[in-house]
């Protein structure tokens, strides 16, 4: 559509509201505002108008301002809801957000609550001019208005800048992921992002949630807010706050059941390994020859493992690696003795924990660098400040329930 | 120095080798090659020559090629060491790395082992032209030659691309961090990066390790290789493989002791909370009025906590929040009932684990969104599939050993 047609038909432009649902209350807690133009063939999105740099900025600002005003008028009637407004940071930085803040202050006198206003900035928009933007954002947050960073984790996910900006909300768009398949890649990246926002205290919002699998993905990755066609499309009016409460409750129940099964599977394996191992350890008379010990244990647990070794409480390996050959025989790798593993994530924590609790620990799923495949490690406290490590191959984990 | 002077004095250019030390063996496992020019005032770094885009690329390539050749001649005598070569990816992509690979193949016939060659690419260099670069890297890796991505985590850390490239080694530069202070920001970001590389199976190398604190930082973040002035400067010749073995062993011992103390502190708190709680639970006759229960527990554990609540095994909150006021009185937040917490990281895992082991769990340190401060949460299994949550404030953790 011609930009001039848009400008000349401003009275046909209306805000549409897409519901944002909270995982904790399973109700609509706010809306993101989108500009739509009423046409004969139905409402038309103005997304491309706002992102088209060939259109003079003052045109885009004028429409933006118009839609914002309509939305603000609507929101002062519902001061408990979050209002998500898309902001072009490069445009508002020119006057230090004065015009925008003045407008918000005007509506504040009419009942708008600042801490319910969320200004959404696209991640790519702060790539340049970063330090000015950081200052502006800090100022805006000091007024109580919240900042959301959008499109994180997909086209780009610069963690350091994200951490530095300390947004209140981090929006992850999963809309582009096709169908039901989530590449391992995104699982790993979003897991990292999820843990970072947990540390930082930013709230995660997954947008583009357009099917059941994506809702599950959002739930598993610690997303507190959800937005997407699966839950609700942009609408000219607000929806009932509880419109999807029952559905979400049911789906959460399924998610929980599935997760519970997985974790039970892991606890069962821990238990099984612990018992098999304890029985084997009873037959071991002395720990003088640790290579003999690992071979004995490896043979007893040969169903579960491809690599067994013993480490002391400072992380120095005290036995050779017992490694299963392709033919299934156990061999010793002598040069692995005296290697130190204290630098590995969770290592010392697990050693101290095992020592304290006198029981084994099953690790998370991670990639073994030598084999380049996903494995888990089971570790167990022996006597004399020694600790046993048993690496479990992908092929075993794959055959069992809940271990991948 | 004038670029022409460099070209005309090629015979004065020599490779310098900076040692790379492995945490597992505490020995030199390889060297990164740097070009240096012998001058009257000592060796001169050619770093700026290689990064100056105003110098014609063929000049830079010529010097690069010359230094590479000298280094390769040297390395065929020590085929067990890793050779880290800095590569301009935009330069080698023009001929699909043909010239470089031909050169490596020539040295392979003279004893060079491909899996000991590491080509280092700067992260910023693959920002453009990404998919071609991804193809080239996959091809190079298929020959056995390894790929390292340099300068990750600092100026930028695009996790998704990093995960997609699947480099063998991820180099994190901590050289720019001044003195002994690590902003919390970097700790959180590098923690995320460390967990991502663990999932991906990439090896972490911290470079710019120029003091004890940075070595500790590298160790704590799962770095397997270390490089930096604190360990060894670039040298015209190789150093003894074990030159810093004793030092590193001693420092690891100190790191481990410190970490052990911290984790013991956490286990002690877990124990103390468990005992105080069990004593309190004995005085509770029924779980009919859960608000009464949380208030009773909150008062008994008032030293440790600012918020107490009870959740069922699907994550639905069954009591109000008991929250400590600024005056130290416990009050109920009724509207927190029926909130669901199953979406929070680790939540369901911890519920299932508590149910199975019938004991409490102390969480990691994370930011509470309401209070915007770092806290830990202690959780404990009650009767009837109910679980107690006790949020411990920063002020308490700060006073104790090892809890931050």
Supply the pLDDT for residue A97. 94
Convert the pLDDT of each residue in B221-239 to its tens digit.
999 999 999 999 999 999 9
Instruction: Provide CB contacts within 8 A for B236, sequence distance 6+.
Output: B14, B15, B16, B17, B36, B43
Q: Mean of the pLDDT values across residues B57-68?
A: 92
Question: Average pLDDT, whole number, for chain A?
Answer: 92
Give the residue on B whose Cα is nearest the Cα of A373: B201
Cα–Cα dist A211/A201, whole Å: 27
Residue B244 lies inside a defined structural domain of this protein: no
CB-CB neighbours of A88 under 10 Å: 16
Share of chain A above pLDDT 70, in %: 97
Least confident of A234-238, B148-152, B388-392: B148-152
* Long-range own/partner contacts, residues B181-190 (CB < 8 A, 24 or more apart): B182/B213, B182/B217, B185/A160, B185/A163, B185/A164, B186/A160, B186/B153, B188/A163, B188/A196, B188/A199, B188/A200, B189/A159, B189/A160, B189/A163, B189/A196, B189/B153, B189/B157, B190/B153, B190/B217, B190/B221
> Which of B344, B342, B340 lies closest to B369, judged by CA?
B344
**Selection from B297, B274, B283 nearest residue B359 by Cα:** B274
What 3-state DSSP class applies to B313? coil
**Cα-trace Rg, chain B:** 28
Residue B251 lies in a domain: no
Q: What is the pLDDT of residue B131?
A: 85
Are A339 and B200 an interchain contact pair (Cβ–Cβ within 8 Å)? no
Least confident of A21-25, A34-38, A323-327, B171-175: B171-175
- Which CATH number belongs to the domain containing residue B365 in this structure? 3.30.450.20
Q: What is the pLDDT of residue A181?
A: 62
d(CA B116, nearest CA chain A) in Å:
14
A364 touches A188 (CB < 8 A): no
What does the pLDDT average to over A355-360? 95
Q: Is B198's CB within 8 Å of A160's CB?
A: no
Least confident interval from A142-146, B103-107, B116-120, B180-184: B180-184
Task: Kindly state whether residues A103 and A32 are assigned to the same domain.
Answer: yes
pLDDT band at A176; cut points 50, 70, 90: confident
Lowest-pLDDT range of A126-135, A156-165, B26-35, B85-94: A156-165
Position with higher pLDDT, B57 vs A280? A280
Asked if B256 and A26 come within 8 Å (Cβ–Cβ), the reply is no
Does B251 touch chain A if contact means CB atoms closer than 8 Å?
no
Q: Which residue blocks in B283-370 are alpha helix, DSSP H?
A: 290-300, 347-357
φ, ψ (nearest 5 deg) of residue A111: 115, -5
- pLDDT attached to residue A124: 74
Picking from B272, B343, B371, B401 by the largest number of A CB atoms within 10 A of its own CB, the best residue to mutate is B343
Query: ∠ CA(A258), CA(A261), CA(A262), 5° rounding?
Result: 90
- Give Cα separations from B81 to A114, A177, B38, B238 (angstroms): 60, 42, 25, 11
Does B124 map to a domain? yes
What is the model's pLDDT at position B178?
Answer: 72
DSSP code of residue B158: B
Same domain flag for A199 and A112: yes
In a shared domain, residues B173 and B122: yes
DSSP conformation letters of A342-362:
TTSTTHHHHHHHHHHH-S-EE
B193: chain A residues, CB-CB within 8 Å: 159, 192
Question: How remote is the C-alpha of A130 from its chain's centroid?
Answer: 24
- Collect all residues of chain A within an 8 Å Cβ-Cβ radius of residue B340: 23-26, 249, 252
Total number of domains in chain A = 2
Hey, are the CB atoms on A193 and B163 less than 8 Å from each other?
A: no
- Report CB contact under 8 Å: B158, A153: no
| Residue of chain A nearest B368, judged by CA positions | A201
pLDDT tier for residue B336 given thresholds of 50, 70 and 90: very high
Same domain flag for B231 and B265: no
- B202 Cα to chain A: minimum distance (Å): 7
Check whether residue A75 and residue A144 sit in a common domain.
yes
The domain boundary, picked from A201, A235, A269, lies at: A235
The pLDDT, as a whole number, for residue B157 is 54
Residue labelled with tokens 């046993």? A388
Residue A228 and residue A79 share a domain: yes
Given a cut of 60, whether residue B53 has pLDDT beyond it is yes
Inter-chain CB proximity A163 and B185 less than 8 Å: yes
User: What residue in B sits closest to A337 (Cα-Cα)?
Assistant: B25
pTM of the full structure:
0.91
| Bridge partners for B251 per DSSP | none
- Which residue in chain A is spatially nearest to B359 when comparing CA positions? A357
Say if residue B213's pLDDT is above 70.
yes
B201 and B349: one domain? Answer: no
Pair of tokens at residue A272: 């099984």
Q: CA-CA distance, A137 to A162, in Å (whole number)?
A: 12
> Hey, are the CB atoms on A264 and B341 less than 8 Å from each other?
no
Which two structure tokens, joined as six digits, stand for B26? 């505490």
Indicate whether A154 pLDDT > 60. no
* A146 beta partners: A118
CA A282 vs CA A220, A273, A285, A382: distances in Å: 41, 14, 8, 11
Phi/psi of residue B343, each to 5°? -80, -10
Evaluate whether B50 touches B1 at the Cβ level (below 8 Å): no
CA distances from A161 to A157, A158, A164 (A): 9, 6, 5
Averaged pLDDT for residues A277-290? 94
On whether any CB of chain A is under 8 Å from the CB of B335, the answer is: no
Contact between B162 and B194 (Cβ < 8 Å): no
Examine residue A242 and state whether it is found in any structural domain, yes or no.
no
- The pLDDT of residue B51 is 83
A334 Cβ under 8 Å from any chain B Cβ: no
Q: Tell me the ipTM for this assembly.
A: 0.91
Strand partners, A205: A171, A225
pLDDT tens for B145-178 read 999 998 775 444 577 778 888 899 999 988 877 7
Q: Least CA distance to A253: which residue of chain B?
A: B314
Domain of A77: which CATH number?
3.20.20.450
Predicted local confidence at residue A155, as pLDDT: 46
Same domain, B333 and B365: yes
What is the chain A residue with the closest CA to B157?
A158
Which residue in A has a C-alpha nearest to residue B127's C-alpha?
A156
Together in a domain, B220 and B277: no
Tell me which residue in A159, A249, A255 faces B192 most closely, judged by beta carbons. A159
Mark whether B56 and B204 lie in a shared domain. Answer: yes
For chains A and B, count residue pairs whose Cβ atoms are closer than 8 Å. 187
* Residue A38 pLDDT exceeds 70: yes
Q: Nearest CA to B197 among B173, B222, B215, B180?
A: B222
Instruction: Show the tokens assigned to A219.
Output: 């739930």
Looking at residue A169, the DSSP 8-state letter turns out to be E
**Do the domain assignments include residue A32?**
yes
Give me the residue from A158, A256, A344 closest to B156, CB to CB.
A158
Do A180 and A44 share a structural domain? yes
Q: What 3-state class would DSSP assign to B13? A: strand
**What is the average pLDDT across B260-280?**
95
For the segment B20-40, the average pLDDT, to the nearest whole number, is 96
Lowest mean pLDDT among A101-105, A366-370, B349-353: A366-370
The pLDDT value given to residue B155: 45
Residue ranges of alpha helices (H) inside B36-174 are 47-51, 57-75, 89-92, 98-109, 130-142, 159-165
* Domain of residue A274, residue span: 258-399
User: Looking at the complex, does the CB of residue B23 fall below 8 Å from at least one CB of chain A?
Assistant: yes
For B348, the closest of A161, A194, A259 (CB atoms) is: A259
Cβ within 8 Å of B, A 375-394? none
From A191-205, B104-118, B286-300, B323-337, the region with the lowest mean pLDDT: A191-205
pLDDT tens profile A194-209? 988 999 999 999 999 9
- Residues of chain B with C-beta less than 8 angstroms from the C-beta of A158: 156-158
A 340-369 near B (Cβ less than 8 A): 340-345, 348-349, 351-353, 356, 365-369
**Phi-psi category of B379—alpha, beta or left, where left has phi over 0 and alpha has psi -120 to 50?**
beta
Question: In chain A, whose CA is at the least distance from the CA of B166?
Answer: A185
A241 at interface of B, judged by CB pairs closer than 8 A:
no
Structure tokens at B313: 């095994």
Q: Tell me which residues of chain A, numbers 162 to 181, contact chain B at a CB-CB cutoff of 8 Å.
A: 163-164
Looking at the structure, tell me whether residues A11 and A148 fall in a common domain. Answer: yes
Would you say residue A404 lies in a domain? no
Q: List CB contacts (< 8 A) between B153 and chain A.
A: 159-160
Residue A201 contacts B where some CB pair is shorter than 8 Å: yes
CB contact under 8 A, A343 and B24: yes
Query: Taking Cα atoms as reference points, which of A267, A266, A178, A186 lies closest to residue A220?
Result: A186
The verdict on residue B35 lying in a domain is: yes
**A51 found inside a domain:** yes
Q: What is the mean pLDDT of residues B11-35?
A: 97
């Amino acid at each position: 559509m011609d930009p001039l047609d848009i400008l000349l038909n401003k009275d046909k432009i209306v805000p549409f509201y897409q519901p944002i649902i909270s995982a904790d209350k399973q109700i609509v807690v706010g809306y993101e505002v989108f500009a739509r133009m009423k046409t004969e063939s139905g409402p038309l999105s103005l997304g491309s108008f706002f992102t088209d740099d060939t259109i003079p900025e003052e045109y885009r600002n004028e429409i933006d301002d118009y839609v914002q005003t309509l939305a603000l008028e609507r929101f002062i009637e519902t001061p408990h809801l979050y209002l998500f407004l898309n902001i072009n940071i490069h445009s508002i930085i020119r006057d230090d957000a004065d015009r925008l803040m003045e407008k918000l202050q005007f509506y504040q006198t009419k009942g708008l609550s600042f801490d319910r206003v969320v200004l959404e900035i696209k991640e790519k928009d702060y790539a340049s001019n970063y330090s000015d933007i950081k200052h502006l954002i800090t100022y805006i947050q000091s007024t109580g208005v919240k900042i959301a960073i959008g499109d994180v984790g997909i086209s780009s996910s610069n963690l350091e800048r994200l951490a530095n900006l300390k947004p209140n909300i981090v929006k992850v768009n999963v809309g582009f992921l096709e169908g039901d398949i989530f590449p391992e890649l995104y699982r790993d990246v979003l897991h990292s992002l999820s843990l970072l926002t947990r540390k930082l205290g930013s709230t995660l919002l997954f947008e583009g949630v357009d099917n059941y699998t994506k809702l599950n993905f959002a739930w598993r990755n610690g997303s507190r807010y959800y937005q997407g066609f699966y839950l609700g499309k942009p609408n000219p009016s607000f929806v009932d706050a509880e419109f999807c409460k029952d559905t979400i409750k049911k789906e959460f129940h399924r998610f929980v059941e599935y997760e519970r099964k997985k974790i039970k599977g892991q606890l069962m394996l821990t238990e099984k390994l612990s018992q098999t191992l304890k029985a084997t350890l009873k037959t071991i008379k002395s720990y003088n020859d640790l290579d003999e010990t690992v071979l004995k244990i490896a043979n007893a647990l040969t169903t579960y493992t491809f690599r067994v070794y013993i480490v002391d409480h400072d992380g120095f390996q005290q036995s050779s690696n017992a490694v299963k050959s392709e033919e299934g025989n156990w061999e010793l790798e002598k040069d692995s003795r005296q290697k130190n593993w204290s630098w590995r994530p969770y290592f010392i924590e697990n050693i101290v924990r095992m020592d304290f609790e006198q029981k084994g620990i099953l690790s998370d799923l991670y990639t073994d660098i030598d084999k380049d495949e996903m494995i888990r490690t089971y570790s167990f406290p022996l006597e004399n400040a020694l600790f046993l490590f048993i690496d479990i191959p992908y092929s075993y984990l794959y055959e069992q329930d809940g271990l991948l």
